[in-house]
Structure 1
């Protein structure tokens, strides 16, 4: 047990209290600087390289989840458990995976190795089969520049499901308020507690923080109040009701991925490419939508499926269509004290096909240049119904209403030709660092050719890799 009102984090099964922290330090810096646990490394400090990976867990939950400690502030994990590579094994008693890395020569300079061990342990501790696909996904957020990935994959395969399970300590979790320098963290556990905090000046909401924590400074000159949404029970619910998914806005991308595997399998590849397991375990559905990025990977899917948002704030509750949510570049209709509490996503109907495609410079761990979601019903080679939504073509994710109207009721080949030949009438992309406007237009034409091939061949879904290998 622990003293009442003490801010603590269990690190490698030992309770560590927060003290002598005079600014909003990251979990990575706290582990290395304050606790002298140097196994966790800093590489990119942006969640790309995975050298900073650690495992986190709740007090009564035996599930350990990998996250990037460079993207998480220490205030977000107060009252929780953290396991670093030092808590996995040591020279006297190494974990079988660490032994396997030595045997398979899976480490050279060793800088990235702790992160790979953490990612591998999370896979071994899961109920997934340890095969090529699950291994590739588990280490998709870890970069190695000298060893090469083959021996790392071999090391994981050789351990397989025969391993020593990492069992985190169980403890009574607390969600106390935390003061870190000039930054205050408040941790409401329900929506009523949340409302009582919205009268504080200069507050900001924080869920996963995979985007916001990259933008806000470590040291703040002014008082900064953070209201942490990730502990609110109502925001983490997942329900299936009346042929739709009701998703709390604080549901992580990883939990969303697990939920849709049997219900919307067409989304699996897109969500896996959303980010590494470290990102997916921290980032939330609501956070992805509310950042209001023009290239958000989830928004086009929800737009095509006609998702609705439940909004909560001091003026009560309201429901809006996602299509009415975005007002401009990085802007939406939320007032300062409002949050998206849940998202209602209709499940695809059996006589419809759903295609979700993302084009990016890298297959894994990269922001979309463009994305396209197609929800379509074909009858006798006639488009009976179609819903199109895209990212990367305007200042907000867009539902392509005019194109849907012009394609609906047409023969498949004629409608595809219309989209390809007249695409400039429907989208007005800009040129930026991710791609030129001309590239985006040509890519859209390619995606409609892929759509025609899938529908003619009777393919329910076609991944980027499958199409490129044709």
Structure 2
């Protein structure tokens, strides 16, 4: 039976994880249900109502909750409420579930290993320029329950992670988009099969009048589609068929293979929606990309510097890496379990790798025999030595410093944004010093 807002109304609800999403979930439910909060960290919220409703472990263990809303970042196998969550697993839900019960608006939900944020942003801007009341939410943009002034014409572009989808039990999306799948987050999902299943919950939950857009030649996607009988209409997107379209787009942002793949999905969806083609190309030509995602932060006659701090896997870096020449590639952070470097040696002739941080041995093992590798203790020392090496070069070819770490940022930084900002600050310092 289709669930509606009554599934959460007047229920006793625990919100576990009081970051941005958790706080917005509390604000949304506080007048609709008996809501409490808990966080593994000691927090002091500005919201006085929330402050009074935060429980400690002793109080929490005495209450029987009807629903538990969990933050995607929380691993139920490694948190303070692990035993409680395992006993109440069937009562665990996500903010996406709440959204679906209260709003039946049209949504475009985008997931995949790489390209989620960029594709979500492009589609959102395309819809806005076509006069849609589009909201960009989820992993990118605002928490979905923070949106206001929602009408029946409002559409949602949702970036959804495997963690969000894994915890969701009710959520359905009119349009499901799975861009690609390669091994990722295996330290949490344990197996590739579990990871794939989390992604495909998006399609599995769809009804017969829904549509799923999937990459045509992705092996993991093909395998899953062929071994299941999904209700929704499956549209296979050929991501290698955009060369003709690129003649109409003068935006250099779409020169990389990864961004061409993202573009393929947006074009397919736009065609299905019968959007105005002239307006569509105008939007694509002015698209500037996202901060710290293959972002060119410096360009001169002799040097290009690209900040791709968002990169947490080899797969997210390789497409652009193949198109670059004379590359000084900076790698570091926490390596992903199961991640593999798949470029052939012929693609690596112009690449020198500089690995920073304590996980040098792991990265070195995965890149071994394919590239010239140096290692340094931190990002500052790495960049300093790259500038020294560039000075020693006798050729006049344009050099590219490519900061695409292929590892999570949590070894040193709060998030990839903080890492990206720090890199920009270092670049500014070294550029000024080398003038």
Same fold flag (TM > 0.5) = no
Q: TM-score, structure 1 length as denominator?
A: 0.27
Q: TM-score, structure 2 length as denominator?
A: 0.29
